[in-house]
Structure 1
Amino acid sequence: MPPTGPQGPYGPPGAYPYQPPQKRSGAGTGLIIGAVLLVLVLMAGGGAVAFWTLSPDDSGTASAEGIGTVRQFSALAADHVDEGETVEYEVYPPAGGPHYPVWQDCGVYGEPLRSEYVVHSMEHGAVWITYDPGLSEADVQILRSHYSPGDYLVISPAEDLPAPVVASAWGSQIRLEDSADPRLVEYLVEYVRGENTPEPGAACSGGRSGTGTTGTGTGAVGAGIDASEFTG
């Protein structure tokens, strides 16, 4: 099904996020590549958000202690792979990496999506909000309310998540227990079309609007889209 969604609370269509992301001063100071874990605390909105910077070797490590923290990932490949090929990502949901030549259109979806399409959307600046299919309708509507037409957001259910709600951007991810957790909004303001976007200004429409994880949904490659036309 094509992406749909209600009007979001952050201004007119396409205005989300409502302010440019703020650079975190000193974020690159004192980082030791390898086994050392550096925790930075950013005070925002009256609360604290912890940022974990992980080396590529341990970037896929999951822990219950990671709930509510922003996990960072570096040295992510951005290669295109053939449509239909399965990419073995180091973290799930993925936070960047190899992907299909066609991106997933930003929007709200009622069915799971193929990661390799959405990772391409993330390369263009989108944040992918995934949620447990067992989440209540009220909780799902809270998540969907963040989207306005034109926003660089992809919202969909996903199986076997490490938390009820997971938001992923290129190079970062936050896992949350509650759809109403205010840290989700903080994350979106920081990372939607944020400073780590590999291809700023690239489109998040005109790609794949189909659903499903096999690449055969309506509008998917193999259903009328010529992948050779996509070079972003």
Structure 2
Amino acid sequence: MSRRGTSGERPRGLLIAALVVAAVLGVFVAVVVIDRGQRAASEPPEGVREFTIPSRNHTEGAINYPQTPPAGGNHNPVWQNSGFYADPVRNETAVHTMEHGAVWITYRPDLSQAQKDTLRQLAQSRDCIIASPYPDLSVPVVASAWGVQLQLDSADDPRLEQFVRAYRIGPQTPEPGAACTGGVGEPS
């Protein structure tokens, strides 16, 4: 074999190596950018209040929770099925579903039909979301997950979706992987 054949292969080999390195760097940069974007999308929104939840035992009776609506604590042994409800649900069953990773969106019963439809669509778009009316709320909409809560003036507030992305089956969930169906309640 002549030297000419060997020297012609060297630039081709360098070109291939350079292309491989460029492809690997391109993939690395894409992964970093995508990861940053996903983390930013799942960051908690402004205004989230955090609560220490001292216990999470099963109990049959009614519970007097320190937050309205509750953001966690002792609860009924049976959980509330996720979905949209036109009637109020029991605190104790909804809290159990939050223990499983649900976001419980409560709304004033007199919320406009358009706002209720927005909440219905959100609750039906993913598992582990409960939406139900809650009498005597101090604001139109409250989103709660285990140990966290966000008060909102509207179901259209973009922070609601951000809250759901950050906390539905999020890192605060005491029992990740537990079901949000197979409990009580018939969503409408």
Q: Please state which band the TM-score falls in when normalised by the shorter chain.
A: 0.7 to 0.9
Alignment correspondent of 2:64: 88
Q: Residue 78 of structure 1: which of 56, 79, 85 is its match?
A: 56
Q: Residue 161 of structure 1: which of 124, 137, 157 is its match?
A: 137
1:49 positional shift: 3.4
TM-score, structure 2 length as denominator? 0.74
Alignment correspondent of 2:85: 109
Instruction: Give the SS at the match of 1:148.
Output: helix
1:76 positional shift: 3.0
Q: Deviations over 1:103-156 (max 9, x none)?
A: 001111110011000000000000000100001101111111112365110011
Structure having the larger proportion of residues in helix? 2
AA partner of residue 80 (structure 1): H
AA partner of residue 100 (structure 1): N
Cα distance in 2 for residues equivalent to 1:111 and 1:201: 27
Q: Which runs of 5+ in 1 are unaligned?
A: 1-18, 24-43, 51-68, 212-232
Root-mean-square deviation (CA, aligned residues, Å) is 2.2
AA partner of residue 50 (structure 2): Q
Alignment of 1:1-232 (within 5 A): 49-50=45-46, 69-82=47-60, 85-148=61-124, 151-210=127-186
Instruction: Give the SS at the match of 1:129.
Output: strand
Cα distance in 2 for residues equivalent to 1:119 and 1:49: 22
Any conservation in 1 of the 2:53–2:73 contact (CA below 8 Å)?
A: no
Cα distance in 2 for residues equivalent to 1:49 and 1:126: 17
Any conservation in 2 of the 1:76–1:171 contact (CA below 8 Å)?
A: no
Instruction: Give the SS at the match of 1:103.
Output: coil
Q: Deviations over 1:15-67 (max 9, x none)?
A: xxxx9xx77xxxxxxxxxxxxxxxxxxxx56xx933xxxxxxxxxxxxxxxxx
Cα distance in 1 for residues equivalent to 2:150 and 2:54: 17
Give the paired residue count: 150
AA partner of residue 104 (structure 2): W
Alignment correspondent of 2:22: none
Larger-gyration structure (1/2): 2
Cα distance in 1 for residues equivalent to 2:125 and 2:166: 19
Cα distance in 2 for residues equivalent to 1:159 and 1:111: 10
Q: Which runs of 5+ in 2 are unaligned?
A: 1-34
1:179 positional shift: 1.2
- More displaced stretch, 150-159 vs 120-129: 150-159
